[in-house]
Amino acid sequence: MKVLVPVKRVVDFNVKVRVKSDQSGVDIANVKMSMNPFDEIALEEAMRLKEKGLVAEVVAVSCGVAQCQETLRTAMAIGADRAVLVQTDVALQPLAVAKLLRALVDKEQPQLVILGKQAIDDDANQTGQMLAALLSWPQATFASKVELAGDTVAVTREVDGGLETLSLKLPAIITTDLRLNEPRYVTLPNIMKAKKKTLDTITPEALGVDVTPRLKTLKVSEPPARSAGVTVPDVAALVEKLKNEAKVI
Partner 1 sequence: MTILVIAEHDNSHLKVATRNTVAAAAKMGGDVHVLVAGSGAQVVADQASKVAGVAKVLLADAPHLAEGLAENVAAQVLAVAQNYSHILFPATASGKNVAPRVAARLDVAQVSDIIAVDSPDTFQHPIYAGNAIATVQSSDPIKVITVRTTGFDAVSEQGGQAVIETLAAEADSGLSSFVGREVAQNDRPELTAAKIVVSGGRGMGSAENFKILDPLADKLGAALGASRAAVDAGYAPNDWQVGQTGKIVAPQLYVAIGISGAIQHLAGMKDSKVIVAINKDAEAPIFGVADYGLVADLFQAVPELVKAL
Closest approach, Cβ 1 to partner 1, in A, equals 18
In angstroms, rounded to a whole number, what is the distance separating the alpha carbons of residues 104 and 207?
Answer: 8
Q: Based on CB atoms, which residue is closest to partner 1, 15 or 66?
A: 15
Q: Does 24 bind partner 1 (CB under 8 A)?
A: no
- Residue 127: CB minimum distance to partner 1, A: 8
Give whichever of 1 and 120 is closer to partner 1, judged by the CB atom. 120
- Termini Cα distance of the chain: 56
Asked if 29 touches partner 1 (CB under 8 A), the answer is no
Contact 61, 104 (CB under 8 A): yes
The least CB distance from residue 15 to partner 1, in Å, is 8
C-alpha distance from residue 2 to each of 57, 139, 237 (Å) = 5, 17, 61
Size of residue set near partner 1 by CB under 8 A: 80
| Sign, Cα dihedral of 37, 39, 45, 51 | negative
Site residues for partner 1, 54-73, by CB under 8 A, read none
For 67, 177, 249, the CA distances from 43, given in Å and listed in that order, are 19, 12, 44
In this chain, which of 150, 185, 196, 230 binds partner 1, going by CB under 8 A? 230
Question: Is residue 211 close enough to count as binding partner 1 by CB under 8 A?
Answer: no
- Kind of pairing, strands 33-35 and 9-11? antiparallel
Burial class of 154 by CB neighbour count within 10 A (0 to 12, 13 to 18, 19+):
middle
Near partner 1 in 125-154, by CB under 8 A: 125-134, 136-142, 154
Nearer to partner 1, 188 or 249 (CB): 249
Residue placing its CB nearer to partner 1 in the complex, 25 or 198: 25
Cβ neighbourhood burial of 19 (10 Å; 0-12, 13-18, 19+)? middle
Binding mask 168-207 vs partner 1 (x if CB under 8 A, - otherwise)? xx--x-----xx----------------------------
Positions 90 through 129 that interact with partner 1 (CB under 8 A): 93-95, 98, 120-129
